[in-house]
Structure 1
């Protein structure tokens, strides 16, 4: 079975699909991974060849991180970023078309996509093969049981309002509909049809297959989801072999530290945020590792008992830390949960408040501390609870055990084999 995998976004949007490609290859299939050019190194580390698409709007997001405005919720910057998106996606559509029709993805029997390369279901329609929507966040399929995770919406809404809130996923159609329609007609020769912008529907109007790459112990599959939705478990890459020497030495030198990092998010004052974090850990008398990422933390100086690293090998490091303070991205949340570590979530925007509430509801984290309200006192109080409350520690340990028992990426490949039975392992 030849599988064309198409994903777009930051590392957390790409890494699970590298794991899927690796598992497909190990089961005798032929995966082709189409993703932003900047992740070629990540794919190569795991023996996966990347069919690159243009970085497109990621470059605009890089610039936005420079001043922190768009990424931390500044309205004017976010609107400017949104206006630039349609044009930025035009090159991505061209690259995706070439990959699927004349490039390494030609002849694929199924297209797996995360919804962010909006070309994917249309290319599957052109090829006459199934399109499978694969998600690290359950934000497409409506349910009465929780509100749309794409925004911080009130909890406790009536079921009918929860379900209606998922209309927020109509935003891409509003923003990109004209661009997609023009590309469909001019590049693919596809006629307009009803439901063409809905990845939850096949061209024939039937429910499209959906794979949720999240643990059922973290998001219990709602009773009103259709049979076309499968919750597989997380798609993790195998653990790296060794910790970097600096990290290994730091861990061996004292008590387990707390890990603090805000991933690809950068607020308007990364130096100020780092000062808040350092004050909080100093007040608690705990050691810390600061993951500086793409600029979310910029410490002026590091006191004794604190080190800074740019990249964090979650699979190796997280089991050795006392707690994890992070922004609530889907990937970091899943990694911390799987490691069985207590969490403190400081969300910025989008789905991050959803994960913060979810971890608190599961008992593995105190109530989230939004970035706009972050202070040394609030962070220290939340971190103290995460470190000292035995119930939080026990819940985190139990959740990690349950998640690690799952084989999410294996279950996903099994579902794809059932969907394309002629493409079972050779």
Structure 2
């Protein structure tokens, strides 16, 4: 089976798909990952063939308007105007990304796996093979069990839970329909058809197989997903075999009690220096040592205390288990890694699905109440860190849940489901 995996975004958006590709190769299949060129390091150590794509919206990561969107989570009238402006600016960039994805598909595939926000199902249609949307957040498939996580902070009556998922689909259509139609017409030579922009429907109108690369153990109970939706568990990419910690990192870990990890990934608000001051003061007030990962400019520090080590990056599966607690932004990948490590968390969400994951970690009893970035203070963050590193019951729950999370082996479950999809495709071809 040859699987073409197409995704885009920053490291947290790409790494789980690299994990899936690696697992497919370990199972004896052929897998190719198409992702932004800067993410090649996620594939190369594992011998995963990699096709570099245009950087697309990643080129706007430091743009003031994008930083404002992250800071405000698109709240209020101003937030809605910013959201529309961001869509306008990213459209031509995504057109180039989709063109590169179409070129990547020229070598053929038996199955196309894609991020749902990337409308690569058109490419699968051109190849005549199944498209499998692979979601890292529970925002694509409607459910009555809980409202759309993208609407965190908005009161939604239970009766409208399922309807709350519609705006995400409409926003995706507004952002991608025109460029997708152009791609279909000029590159893929596909006709217009009803329902062509619905990533959850096959060209014949039936449902597609959907993978959800996160754990149902941290979702609200009594889930009502349809049978064609498979919530497998998180997808973890192991540390490269040749990776070793620096002497500085090893010495820091050995030189005192376990530190906390503090990093906000690629999130960058309008004032990274303010965030840096908050973080530095919170570490001092909490009386902890810290390994700090500054990310893509989300945290700027003018100076470092002796009990803080600044890192570019380190594999989460190696680093997190050695931490006293994990302070992070609530991205699904980092949340999954913190869960697998079995360590207490402090979640400081910015935007999108991050407030949802922050709330779920608190509900699971592995984190104190969330510390939203827009209202982050040294005192509030320090108090949350103290709870995370001293509350024994919280630590025991984190350790117990971590064992259950890792036992799911989500990436192996996903490979098994893709094998089933390919068998169905082959059987359909024979008949």
Tell me which interval the TM-score lies in, with the shorter structure as reference length: over 0.9
Q: Does 1:251 find its partner at 2:250?
A: no
Larger proportion of helix: 2
RMSD (CA atoms): 1.9
Aligned equivalents of 2:205, 2:82: Cα separation in 1: 38
User: In the TM superposition, what is the alpha-carbon distance from 1:337 to its structure 2 partner?
Assistant: 0.8
1:112 is matched with which residue?
113
Residue 413 of structure 2 is matched in structure 1 by 411
Correspondence for 2:7: 7
Which 5+ residue runs of structure 2 have no aligned equivalent? 427-431
- 1:326 maps to 328
Whether 2:382 is the aligned partner of 1:383: answer no
Task: Summarize the Cα distance change of 1:358–1:230 in structure 2 as closer, same or farther, 3 Å threshold.
Answer: same
- Count of residue pairs brought into register by the alignment: 417
Structure 1 residue 71: Cα displacement? 2.8
* Residue in structure 1 matched with residue 22 of structure 2 by the alignment: 22
For the 8 Å contact 1:386–1:393, the answer to whether it is kept is: yes
SS of alignment partner, residue 293 of structure 1: coil
CA drift of 1:313 comes to 2.0
Pick closer, same or farther for the CA change 1:78–1:205 going to 2, 3 Å. closer
Structure-to-structure mapping, 1:44-59, within 5 angstroms: 44-59=44-59
Q: Provide the C-alpha distance between the structure 2 equivalents of 1:316 and 1:69, rounded to a whole number of angstroms.
A: 33
* 2:369 aligned residue: 367
Pairing partner for 2:97 from 92, 98, 110: 92
Structure 1 window deviating more from structure 2 (107-116 vs 55-64): it is 55-64
> Counterparts of 2:158 and 2:205 in 1: how far apart (Å)?
25
State how far apart, in whole Å, the 2-side matches of 1:153 and 1:278 are. Answer: 28
In structure 2, C-alpha distance between the alignment counterparts of 1:193 and 1:165, rounded to whole Å: 26
State the Cα distance separating 1:422 from its structure 2 match. 7.6
- Cα deviation per residue 1:309-346 (whole Å; 9 max; x = unaligned)? 12132111100111111111111111111101111111
Distance 1:11 1:160 in 2: 36
TM-superposed deviation, 1:267? 1.8
CA distance in 1, matches of 2:357, 2:289: 26
SS of aligned partner of 1:420? helix
On the 8 A contact 2:365/2:394 being kept in 1, the answer is yes
Q: Secondary structure at the match of 1:80?
A: helix
Q: Which residue of 2 aligns with 1:166?
A: 165
SS, match of residue 111 in structure 1: strand
Equivalent-residue separation in structure 2 for 1:403 and 1:386 (angstroms): 20
Q: Tell me the alpha carbon deviations over residues 55-85 of structure 1, each in whole angstroms, 9 at most, x when there is no partner.
A: 11110124349x8333323746554332111
Q: More deviation in 246-255 or 46-55?
A: 46-55
Contact 1:61–1:81, Cα closer than 8 Å, also in 2: no
What secondary structure, in the 3-state scheme, does the structure 2 residue paired with 1:70 have? Answer: helix
Please give the secondary structure, in 1, of the residue aligned with 2:418: helix
Distance 1:20 1:220, change over 3 A: farther
Go from structure 1 to structure 2 and tell me whether the alpha carbon gap of 1:220 and 1:2 turns closer, same or farther (over 3 Å shift). farther
Q: Tell me, in whole angstroms, the C-alpha distance in 2 between the residues paired with 1:392 and 1:189.
A: 56
Cα separation, 1, equivalents of 2:419 and 2:425: 6
- Matching of residues 33-182 of structure 1 within 5 Å: 33-64=33-64, 68-73=67-72, 75=79, 78-101=83-106, 106-118=107-119, 120-154=120-154, 157-169=156-168, 170-182=170-182
In structure 2, C-alpha distance between the alignment counterparts of 1:64 and 1:333, rounded to whole Å: 27
In the TM superposition, what whole-angstrom CA distance separates every residue of 1:33-60 from its partner, at most 9, and x where no partner exists? 1111111122112221211211111101
Q: Structure 1: which 4+ aligned runs deviate by more than 3 Å?
A: 62-65, 74-80, 220-223
Q: CA deviation at 1:147?
A: 1.1
Report SS of the residue matched to 2:217. Answer: coil
SS at match of 2:70: coil
